[in-house]
Chains A and B, each alone.
Chain A
């Protein structure tokens, strides 16, 4: 399985601030995916991050709120901008293992916005 490292693992943030989550994969992957898991809920795909192009966002998620960078084939960042308490969630980075394309997940970043 792919080894995916995320940081920070958790943080407590003030309303109106922004936080950047980093994700490092131990092998080169074309696509990386960012998910959100709100308390007691399942995973919702935020966006797909491709190296060398802009991220593709799912319905309900916009670049201004969740800007994503993908500078190389092993690294990505997700920024949660202008945070509100509704952004309190676990944010998960994932990457596929080829050739089957099964997704593996990082340990997640638990954000609490006060």
Chain B
């Protein structure tokens, strides 16, 4: 059974600090990894995708993948109040597979 685990939070981070979000997955066949941001009442918005071990940076966001440990993380630097949202980790085996989502981490950036 495919499982994606996240700490539901809430995770409270001061404005300007680094927010660190973590995710583990059970299916070793997973090939693609994604972070989505979801504001209350809105649909998920893709932030980052990562496919190989290591770090991938995009602006204030860094995704980290460790396939051996089955671990994915998202770092948000210089956190802003507008980053307050639920962050969903999602994984896929690729091909015709849809994404399997974690339950999400509720992030609160304190001004």
Q: Is A1 an interface residue (CB 8 A)?
A: yes
Chain B 9-45 interface 0/1 with A at a Cβ cutoff of 8 Å (1 = within) = 0000000000000000000000010100000001111
- CB neighbours of A45 from chain B (8 A): 98-100
Contact B98 A33 (CB under 8 A): yes
Q: Is B88 an interface residue (CB 8 A)?
A: yes
Q: Is A11 an interface residue (CB 8 A)?
A: no
Chain B 87-111 interface 0/1 with A at a Cβ cutoff of 8 Å (1 = within) = 0101010101011111110000000
Contact A48 B46 (CB under 8 A): no
Contact A1 B46 (CB under 8 A): yes
Main secondary structure of the interface of A (DSSP, over half): strand
The A-B contact count (CB < 8 A) is: 51
Q: Is A21 an interface residue (CB 8 A)?
A: no
Residues of A27-56 at the interface with B, using a CB-CB cut-off of 8 Å, are 31, 33, 35, 41-45, 48, 50, 56
A55 to chain B, nearest CB (A): 11
Q: How far is it, in angstroms, between the C-alpha of A90 and the C-alpha of B38 when the chains are bound? A: 13
Q: How far is it, in angstroms, between the C-alpha of A103 and the C-alpha of B49 when the chains are bound? A: 10
- CB neighbours of B46 from chain A (8 A): 1, 102-104
Chain A 75-114 interface 0/1 with B at a Cβ cutoff of 8 Å (1 = within) = 0000000000000001010100000111111111000000
Output the residue of B88, B98, B100 with the most chain A CB within 10 A: B98
Contact A42 B94 (CB under 8 A): no
Residue of B nearest to A58 (CB): B98
Chain A to chain B contacts (Cβ below 8 Å), 11 pairs: A33-B98, A43-B90, A44-B101, A48-B96, A48-B98, A56-B96, A100-B49, A102-B46, A103-B90, A105-B43, A106-B43
Other than A43-B44, A90-B43, give 6 A-B pairs with Cβ distance below 8 A: A42-B104, A45-B98, A100-B51, A101-B94, A103-B90, A105-B43
Footprint of B on A, CB under 8 Å? 1, 31, 33, 35, 41-45, 48, 50, 56, 90, 92, 94, 100-108
Footprint of A on B, CB under 8 Å? 32, 34, 42-46, 49, 51, 88, 90, 92, 94, 96, 98-104
